[in-house]
A and B are shown apart, each in its own frame.
Chain A
Amino acid sequence: MRRFGALLAALLLAGSLTACGGAAAQEMQTAQVFAMDTVMGLQATGGETAEALAAAEDEIYRLDEELSRTREDSAVSQLNRAEAGTSVEVGAELYDLIARALAFSQATDGAFDITLAPVSSAWGFTEDAYRVPAQEELAGLLAHVGSEHVHLDGASAVSLDQGTQIDLGAIAKGYASDAVAAIYQEHGITHGIVDLGGNTWVCGGNLKGEPWRIGVQDPARAGEAEAYTGILRMGDGFAVTSGGYQRYFEENGKTYHHIIDPATGHPAESGLTSVTVVADGTVGNGTMCDALSTALFVMGEERALDFWRSGVYDFDLILVTEDGRLLVTDGIADRFQPDETAGYAYEVIS
């Protein structure tokens, strides 16, 4: 009996030691990262929080260096600098990302295009030196635009045609959000927000046990705080918004925004002012959401909704149109609360 008592005490001791690990007071830890031309906010709790945030930060900086077109030593710059037609070993990661980008181009009939770089440079969006290029200049550049000018060679090499340059800017933040989501999962983060400048991934809901509340910026009131088209409730998932209001310049009374239509070389005039793509939190969907938000903005309401209905990819949409309508697809309609004060005509699409 005495031995039993001692054994019991020892077992309790051991058990309680392991139990106390989970009893830590819960509070979100945050980190701020300046990368990819934006400010990124990371929040996390549970698991190895500090390690996860540090690893996420390192990973974002690494990807920024790898994927940037403006850094001379990046893998992307090396590919762009190489002589036309020569195969450049880019490594498995960049190869896979380019392959996925080409697949998105194909699926969206070229509305998403990573070869637009020279065109967006001509508009000055890459260098922050805005101007309206002449039509002949654009026509010359557009000849080298298109996914058919990018060739995947072997298992890890890529070559570009004469005059073609790639820019992964429209997909890099989404890819980074996938990478950070994977890091959060590896480190056992229970509640987290990854906000990479409009590319967001959330997990676990908030500390009150409710879904996260995500405000979708009203494009008509772009500069204003707390001006939402509505609020999306989401426990786990990706959400990415693309809108012309995010970056633009004005010249002679006309506004030119940064989302270029590969078909015209001009800022897309599709009748949409904002496109939000929402998908479940599976790693990989971040890249998809980022690519599709740009592509569907270019495609416009009708083509975007046809694409959604085709079911090629599994996602939902929040669209804001120039003529004041707010369209939400039925997969998330029960989780979306439109803000009446924004004054949009609300429609659920099925």
Chain B
Amino acid sequence: MKLTTRQLTLCAVLTAMALALSYLENFFPLSLAIPIPGIKLGLANIVTLFALYALGPGQALLILMARCLLGAVFAGNMNALIFSVLGGVTAMAVMIGLSRLKGLSVYGVSVGGAAAHNCGQVAAAVLTLGSTAPLYYLPVLLGVSLFTGALTGLIAACLFRALAHTKLWGA
């Protein structure tokens, strides 16, 4: 993938923002208190969502992978990598698919992404624990993703509106 300097800079800034949001979430390590994936807001999904529309799937995936890798390195916790990658990639795949549907607004895409993110994390937990016990939490997580997804969708919508008149994207 060949990136212009502008694109590269934007990717870097968005990666940094995503990392900052993930870091914020680490103050509430619900999923780490018990070795079971807990409820996460998925704030970094705002960046993924934004990048997906603004820069396209390729660069959004690039940002996602950089965020997961750097996040794990910064946290010094490589075990968390599988959680964030599986959650992030599942969410990304679902959001790419949903964003192609003309009817859906940013809210629907975001809710789908949040639900997928939780599914991915539960899958990661099932894999790492070698137990199906985390599945027990999936219904709750899915229910909560309606709320968190709508919230990140709202924030993303606000962002799009706020940035609609800037020349940030212009050539």
State the A residues within 8 Å of B (CB).
2, 5-6, 8-9, 12-13, 16-17, 20-21, 23-25, 50
Q: Is the interface of A mostly helix, strand, loop or mixed?
A: helix
Can you list 12 A-B contacts with CB-CB less than 8 angstroms, sorted by A residue number? A5-B159, A5-B161, A5-B162, A6-B158, A6-B162, A13-B43, A16-B148, A20-B28, A21-B30, A24-B30, A25-B36, A25-B39
Given A9-B158, A16-B151, A23-B144, output 18 extra A-B contacts at Cβ < 8 Å.
Answer: A5-B158, A9-B154, A9-B155, A9-B159, A9-B162, A12-B151, A12-B155, A13-B43, A16-B41, A17-B27, A17-B28, A20-B30, A20-B148, A21-B30, A24-B38, A24-B39, A25-B39, A25-B137
| Chain A residues near B24 (CB-CB < 8 A) | 17
Given A20-B28, A23-B144, A12:B38 Cβ within 8 A: no
Is B140 among interface residues, defined by CB-CB distance under 8 A?
A: yes
In the assembled complex, the Cα of A50 lies from the Cα of B148 at a distance in Å of: 26
List CB contacts (< 8 Å) of B6-57 with chain A. Answer: 24, 27-28, 30, 33, 36, 38-41, 43
In the assembled complex, the Cα of A12 lies from the Cα of B158 at a distance in Å of: 11
| Chain B residues near A25 (CB-CB < 8 A) | 36, 38-39, 137, 140
Which of B36, B43, B151, B162 has the most chain A CB atoms inside 10 A of its CB?
B162
Compute the total of residue contacts between A and B using a CB distance below 8 Å.
Answer: 48
| Chain A residues near B137 (CB-CB < 8 A) | 25
Question: B148 CB to closest chain A CB, in angstroms?
Answer: 8
* Contacting pair A20 B155 (CB below 8 A): no
Given A13-B155, A17-B28, A25-B140, A2:B39 Cβ within 8 A: no
In the assembled complex, the Cα of A24 lies from the Cα of B28 at a distance in Å of: 10
- Nearest 3 Cβ contacts at the A-B interface: A9-B158, A5-B158, A5-B162
| Chain B residues near A9 (CB-CB < 8 A) | 154-155, 158-159, 162
Question: B70 CB to closest chain A CB, in angstroms?
Answer: 21
List CB contacts (< 8 Å) of B81-138 with chain A. Answer: 137
* Contacting pair A12 B162 (CB below 8 A): no
In the assembled complex, the Cα of A50 lies from the Cα of B39 at a distance in Å of: 18
| Chain B residues near A2 (CB-CB < 8 A) | 161-162, 165
In the assembled complex, the Cα of A175 lies from the Cα of B151 at a distance in Å of: 48
Question: A236 CB to closest chain B CB, in angstroms?
Answer: 26
In the assembled complex, the Cα of A25 lies from the Cα of B137 at a distance in Å of: 7
| Chain A residues near B38 (CB-CB < 8 A) | 24-25
In the assembled complex, the Cα of A16 lies from the Cα of B28 at a distance in Å of: 11
In the assembled complex, the Cα of A9 lies from the Cα of B39 at a distance in Å of: 21
| Chain A residues near B30 (CB-CB < 8 A) | 20-21, 23-24
| Chain A residues near B140 (CB-CB < 8 A) | 25
Question: A25 CB to closest chain B CB, in angstroms?
Answer: 5
* Contacting pair B162 A17 (CB below 8 A): no
| Chain A residues near B27 (CB-CB < 8 A) | 17
Closest to A23 in B: B39
In the assembled complex, the Cα of A25 lies from the Cα of B134 at a distance in Å of: 11
In the assembled complex, the Cα of A5 lies from the Cα of B157 at a distance in Å of: 9
In the assembled complex, the Cα of A12 lies from the Cα of B46 at a distance in Å of: 13
Question: A38 CB to closest chain B CB, in angstroms?
Answer: 28
Closest to A8 in B: B158
| Chain A residues near B39 (CB-CB < 8 A) | 20, 23-25
| Chain B residues near A17 (CB-CB < 8 A) | 24, 27-28, 41
In the assembled complex, the Cα of A2 lies from the Cα of B166 at a distance in Å of: 11
In the assembled complex, the Cα of A16 lies from the Cα of B38 at a distance in Å of: 16
In the assembled complex, the Cα of A315 lies from the Cα of B40 at a distance in Å of: 45
* Contacting pair A20 B161 (CB below 8 A): no
| Chain A residues near B28 (CB-CB < 8 A) | 17, 20-21
| Chain A residues near B40 (CB-CB < 8 A) | 20
| Chain B residues near A21 (CB-CB < 8 A) | 28, 30
Question: A24 CB to closest chain B CB, in angstroms?
Answer: 5
| Chain B residues near A50 (CB-CB < 8 A) | 33
In the assembled complex, the Cα of A79 lies from the Cα of B158 at a distance in Å of: 71
* Contacting pair B154 A12 (CB below 8 A): yes
Question: B50 CB to closest chain A CB, in angstroms?
Answer: 12
In the assembled complex, the Cα of A5 lies from the Cα of B40 at a distance in Å of: 24
| Chain B residues near A6 (CB-CB < 8 A) | 158, 162
In the assembled complex, the Cα of A29 lies from the Cα of B24 at a distance in Å of: 27
In the assembled complex, the Cα of A2 lies from the Cα of B158 at a distance in Å of: 8
| Chain B residues near A12 (CB-CB < 8 A) | 151, 154-155
Closest to B151 in A: A16
| Chain A residues near B148 (CB-CB < 8 A) | 16, 20
Question: B14 CB to closest chain A CB, in angstroms?
Answer: 16
